[in-house]
Amino acid sequence: MRNVLMAAALVGLVAVTGRADKPKPVVDEKEPSKKEPAASLKVGDPAPSLTANNWLQGEEVKEFEPGKIYVVEFWATWCGPCIVIMPHIAAMQAQYKGVIFIGYSARDANNTEEKVAAFVKKRGPKLKYTFAYADNRTTYDAWMKAAGQNGIPCAFVVDKAGRIVYIGHPFFLGVVLPKVLAGDAKGQAITDEVSKIEEEIFAVGRSLAGPDPKAGLKALKDFDAKYPPMANNPYFLRAKLTCLLKAGEVDEAKKLAEAVVATAIELDDPITLAEVSGVLRSGPGKENKELMALAVKAAEARVQVAGDKDAWALINLATTYFDAGDKAKAKEYARKAIDAAAGESAELKQRIEQHARKLEDDKKEDKK
């Protein structure tokens, strides 16, 4: 349950200044949160076996080899926070070359092998870590259910002796892994430290959401200085950008946004591109022409990354064009979004059409 609460808190920080255009749950659809299950798999226990029907990227892990460290991270294609954290995991894979990172996904009604394989084919080559898929829930249950975890993303760190030394949100891996690599992972020490950091994150979140943006920025700066491995994480992006703009630090906001957009384009990261375009077009800096141009750049890049058949990317671009004052392109891409949503669910189609109608209504208001 604690992992679910942590994930919810981090999602809240992502959206603290505005609602995401495509929110997703963090509680596994196969594991509804009714009552916290009793945990039979705990820190210090030997890691269960890891089996998959399809190793989509990277070498198959048939067993946990002595002397090697593994990170097994459970995710699903419908889980927005799982996708958000992936570039962060990719960066750690590049940093900790001796650690084997595995993105493990199991079948559910909205997480078929076809969806997972398509995702890994598109995003995997730039993420550069291992991905596996199971057509059943056996391994998932042996790890997640046995550990009392019903929220994703959730990471398990397996040490050189094949024992689990961490169970929790992958957000904390930057703090956890150095300790494991140094051989300092003893008993509940890591879990206790992460619990302490969680409380500090809640405090930072309250400051970021508070009435004083400079106080929020200071709280975040102090946190980053105290925990450098967790600095510049994706979950604080929206709140940090918004606070910078509210505090009048436009140049710093522009510098941050440019760096984030460049990295997101390099990693084919559509969610981060959506975050940046959303904050810049609708936040305190929306009157700044340079920031609006950057918002358009991010939204255009999102369409390039997600594809011109992605209805959400298209309607995001239409909205960004509209806010930037290009009503003709707004109308063009709103129509493309409606066409792209034609083959999707009735709910998605309705939401896209509602967004498009709002742009059209606002356009009519401008003519009055």
Same domain, 15 and 164: yes
Domain range enclosing 127: 2-194
Domain assignment present for 213: no
> Which residues are within 8 A (CB) of 241 and not within 5 positions of it... i.e. 6 or more apart?
253, 256, 257, 276, 279, 280, 283
Domain assignment present for 220: no
pLDDT digits (tens, 9 = 90+) for 244-281: 999 999 999 999 999 999 999 998 899 999 999 999 99
Among the residue ranges 27-36, 52-61, 191-200, 238-247, the one predicted with the least confidence is: 27-36
**pLDDT tier at 345, thresholds 50, 70, 90:** confident
DSSP string covering 242-289, please? HHHHHTT-HHHHHHHHHHHHHHHHHTT-HHHHHHHHHHHHHSTTTT-H
Same domain, 166 and 257: no
Domain assignment present for 148: yes
pLDDT digits (tens, 9 = 90+) for 105-140: 999 999 999 999 999 999 999 999 999 999 999 999
Structure tokens belonging to residue 85: 């954290």
Instruction: State phi, psi for 27 to the nearest 5 degrees.
Output: -90, 130
Average pLDDT over residues 82-89: 94
**Comparison of pLDDT for 4 and 332, the residue scoring more:** 332
Same domain, 189 and 313: no
Say how many domains are in the chain: 2
Same domain, 273 and 149: no
Q: Which one of 148, 165, 194 terminates a domain?
A: 194
Average pLDDT over residues 13-20: 37
pLDDT at residue 187 in the model: 60
Same domain, 39 and 159: yes
Q: Which one of 173, 194, 215 terminates a domain?
A: 194
Same domain, 24 and 162: yes
Same domain, 21 and 164: yes
Q: Which one of 154, 172, 194 terminates a domain?
A: 194
SS3 of 157-172: the string is EECCCCEEEEEECHHH
Q: What percent of the chain has pLDDT over 90?
A: 74
**pLDDT tier at 12, thresholds 50, 70, 90:** very low
Domain assignment present for 204: no
What does pLDDT average to over the chain?
A: 87
Domain assignment present for 205: no
Same domain, 96 and 182: yes
Same domain, 272 and 180: no
CATH code, domain carrying 104: 3.40.30.10
Domain assignment present for 252: yes
pLDDT at residue 283 in the model: 80
How far separated are the first and last CA of the chain, in Å rounded? Answer: 53
pLDDT at residue 364 in the model: 54
What is the distance between the alpha carbons of residues 60 and 49, in angstroms, rounded to a whole number? 12
Domain assignment present for 237: no
Same domain, 10 and 90: yes
Residue 23, pLDDT above cutoff 70: no
Same domain, 170 and 269: no
pTM score, whole prediction = 0.85
What is the distance between the alpha carbons of residues 159 and 144, in angstroms, rounded to a whole number? 18
Query: Taking Cα atoms as reference points, which of 145, 174, 159 lies closest to residue 85?
Result: 174
CATH code, domain carrying 266: 1.25.40.10
Domain assignment present for 241: no
Pseudo-torsion of CA 166, 161, 74, 206, nearest 10°? 20
Same domain, 168 and 257: no
